[in-house]
Chain A
Amino acid sequence: MLDTRSQTLIIRINKLRQYQVNRLLLCTLTTLFLLSCQMNEKPLPIFGEREVVGTDTVYHTIAPFAFVDQDSSLVTNETFKDNIYVADFFFTSCRTICPIMKTQMLRVYNATAEMPDVKILSHTIDPEYDTVALLHDFANRLGAESNRWHFVTGVKDSIYKIAQTSYFATAMEDKSEPDGFIHSGAFLLLDKQQRIRGKYDGTKEEDVNRLIIDIKRLRRDEK
């Protein structure tokens, strides 16, 4: 004969079992739902304005540019032909967000080591101080090879203009800032047609994890 206490206990255990079964069911359904999402994954968005010309849609792309990298080589839109690339804006003497961006970009660089069609383009926004020789030393010390990661300098206004109008990134001089410049910490993901397919906060590890996943997705989609 069971006393009341034991009976309550048995009822409780039964309830708990029921709860566990419910949870298991919920879990299975959620997993199935997520799996189906993965299968019907939407392609990455295409940023910027678009125009319809006849039957074709014309998307926003990066305007023509010509800069010089750490090896004094000319870097233009042609350099990234048939390549996916990640772009950002920084300067070597910056001690606020740039070192964090470079730490994160180094993660992108290492994660894409086995992907010959993925490159990185870092523009200095302080070309007067960041000369080719200085960028060469900087890249070298960071451990970056110039065929995969270009550190470019050029005419200051051209860099600011391409940042704002092509990459939708902020970059300008501001004497009131501690280091003399304001710029966003954004990383931009460009596809093989030089269209922006993603914008990420280069100072946040989770955002950069997402970028690395999106690079792999973009490579799959563009094959």
Chain B
Amino acid sequence: MKSSRMLIFILTSILVWIVAACVPDNQNKSEDSVKFQQYYVEGERLYKVYCSNCHQSDGSGLGRLYPPLVRSDFMQKNLAEVICLIKYGRKGELWVNGVMYNQPMKGNPGLTELEVAEIATYIYNSWGNVHDRVEVAEASSILAACPDR
């Protein structure tokens, strides 16, 4: 009898401890998810203006002319390069999922660091891609180090 009371007490304590530990965490998460939503929605709008003509609104690309952004191994391996090319463009061969693309992409130098981060957040979290939000600070430091500025 005594031991079962003790067990209930211990279990309740553990439960309280877990709940207590989770509450502030949840708040952080919801703040984060609002930020994520803002980046994502704005990123989608910018994607439609600057990117979707070639890469298509569903990210599928076009033939072997414009590479897909859906399940692109290049994107998964090269976040920094992707961030650079959104703003500064890219020339030369580019391999995506075993296919070579070679259509020069002109840059969009008018984009701000925040806009680049928003576009990156959108493309890295759409069409089955899953990634964290690309922070403006991260985009900013990557952009400062781009080779073809």
Residues of chain A whose beta carbon lies under 8 Å from any beta carbon of chain B:
92-93, 95-97, 99-100, 102-103, 106, 137-138, 140-143
Contacts and interface: CB of A to CB of B under 8 A. Distances in A.
A95 B64 contact: no
Contacts of B54: 95, 99
Interface residues of B, number: 14
A142 B104 contact: no
B63 interface: yes
Contacts of B103: 92, 138, 141
A96 B53 CA distance: 7
13 contacts: A92-B103, A93-B106, A95-B54, A95-B106, A99-B53, A99-B62, A100-B53, A102-B62, A102-B65, A141-B102, A141-B103, A142-B65, A143-B64
Interface of A, secondary structure class, is: helix
Contacts of A106: 62-63
Contacts of A97: 53
B53 A142 contact: no
B53 A141 contact: no
Interface string B95-111: 00000011111100000
Residue of B56, B63, B102, B106 with highest tally of chain A CB at under 10 A: B63
